[in-house]
Structure 1
Amino acid sequence: MSATYHKRFFFRPDAGVAREIAGLDAKRDCQRIVHLLTAYEFPWDFQRALELALFYTYGSATVSKVLNATGQFSKSGQKRYDDTRLLMTHIMDSGWDGEFGRRALERVNKSHGHYRIAAADFLFVLWTFIEFPIRWTTHFGPRPMTPHEQRAWFYFWAGLGERMHIPGIPESKAAFDRWVADYKRRTFKPNDDSAAVAAATLAIFESWLPPLLRGKASPVIYSLFDDDLPFLNAVKVSLPPGYLRPVLERALRAYGKLRRHVVTGPYPVLPDSPRNRTYGDRPYRIEDLRPESLGKKEARQG
């Protein structure tokens, strides 16, 4: 039976989590390792990193064309965000072999089956899920992910991609990086779809802020991409003020150092924490985490 960990002295993280991870096999035990990373070691970091990962996919003209055509971001952006977060966190929490992870994966595959999505676009999105958590924890986490954890992280997402029937998944992170560099040269072009989906997503983020701070989110978020001009050009955004990124990085690093010694939230963090804005305390079915238009379509199809 898998161990469950608890805070030490009511506020300290348990070092036993990292010890268990280190003793597991990166490939064979990748589902358990990802659960431990998600629930205990990096829950806040992974949530922020995967938000940026999804945002970065808008740099691709072909990905954004599909997303913008659905109209989900402009019509029901908060629901789309909450559904995606819940599906991904259930998969990371229980793995594809666990009941909730299996059901979430089935829901993802069923939803994707309604759209014509190129294999290359699936691969690019998959790469962002691998890359951004590694990048975030390296710069802002309570500690960097170890090479062992990074390998497990890669194997987890590669395994998930196989179960999503994505062809051509590279055999290593380095090979995936090389593939993505070529993909971005082909697809990161200024276009209206990328700009529209990025703007709609920023509107979601800004709706979470007090009224006086709305309008400030855009330059702050884009400052994290100020070293990636192809992305900024693709979403038709000017380079943010140069002073923003150093200020934001100092704040994020300071928060990361604090979390190295102090658990600032629940432990472990479960998929339903924090409470999402769409469902609140109301129960939901994983099978219903889909756009409303797909729900109506699937109901007609029986």
Structure 2
Amino acid sequence: MILFEILEHGMNSLRRKRAIRRMNSMHGRFQISNEEFLYVLSTFIFEPIRWLEKYAYRPMTEIEKQGVFRNYLELGRRMNLKNIPQTLAEFERYNLEFESRYFQFAPSNKLIADKTIDLLLGFYLPKFLFGIGRPFVYALLDEPLSSALGLPKASRWRRWLVEKGLMIRAFFHQKSPEPQHPVLGTRRKRPTYPEGYHIEELGTFPSKSPADLA
């Protein structure tokens, strides 16, 4: 929701300022290096570009890629990040070098991956079908990522099935009428916030200690 607020209201809006303040407050509770922040920022640029190149009916144009890059470059500045690569090519090189240097398995990786996959499947399937859906999620992951997360390697036929399914989706997407209105994440009804929300209440907050509750 915080990222939707930033992306949908623009970098110079009051809601964007409030959302970045809330995000920086959450991040500030943890020891995250500038290098790690830069890598995570880069994934918001390059993973959508790669996904569309592989599974959409057309890849992004160069202008679209630059637009995504410039948007997140500005977001990085407003997060007070240092040494942000200043071109798309430089940032992609940083992204790939970081993965090559740091991707390795840790038990915490698998714990977080399992919870994240459950969250993803929850958007599309009832819980009793998660076991059927999980192998199809594995089929979307490349080898370095699967190994680092400690997840099973998808079979060749399942990867083929998933790729063909997404190609069919892209075909029908191309043939469908252009949407007349944008689909905005901030306008979706969400069970977590049935009466709406305040930006300052989004995200995570420090747990109260026993002394705070006394």
**Which residue is 2:144 aligned to?**
230
Query: Structure 1-normalised TM-score?
Result: 0.63
Residue 175 of structure 1 and its aligned partner are, at CA, apart by 1.2
Alignment of 1:199-214 (within 5 A): 199-208=114-123, 209-214=125-130
TM-score (norm 2): 0.87
Change (3 A) 1:238 1:130: same
Q: CA deviation at 1:212?
A: 4.4
Kindly state the Cα deviation for residue 259 of structure 1 after the two structures are TM-superposed: 2.5
Separation of aligned partners in 2, 1:241 and 1:247 = 10
Change (3 A) 1:264 1:103: same
Structure 1: state its 5+ residue gaps.
1-85
* 1:215-258 C-alpha deviation (Å, 9 max, x unpaired): 12322112111xx3221111112211111222222222222232
Secondary structure of 1:224's counterpart equals: coil
Deviation at 1:264, TM superposition (A): 8.5
Shift in alpha-carbon separation, 1:244–1:276, aligned structure 2, 3 A: farther
**1:150-203: per-residue Cα shift (whole Å, max 9, x none)?**
011111111100110111111112111222222122211111111111112122
Contact conserved, 2:26 with 2:205, CA < 8 A, in 1? no
Corresponding position of 2:137 = 221
- Whether the 8 Å CA contact 2:106–2:148 is kept in 1: the answer is yes
Partner of 1:34: none
CA distance in 1, matches of 2:91, 2:127: 41
| Residue identity matched to 2:166 | L
Identity value in percent: 30
* Contact preservation (8 Å) 1:206, 1:215: no
The AA in structure 2 aligned to 1:194 is N
Where do 5+ consecutive residues of structure 2 fail to align? none
Equivalences for 1:144-293 in 2 at 5 Å?
A: 144-208=59-123, 209-225=125-141, 228-263=142-177, 267-279=181-193, 281-293=194-206
Letter in 2 for 1:285: H
Say yes or no: does 1:93 pair with 2:8: yes
1:45 — aligned with what? none
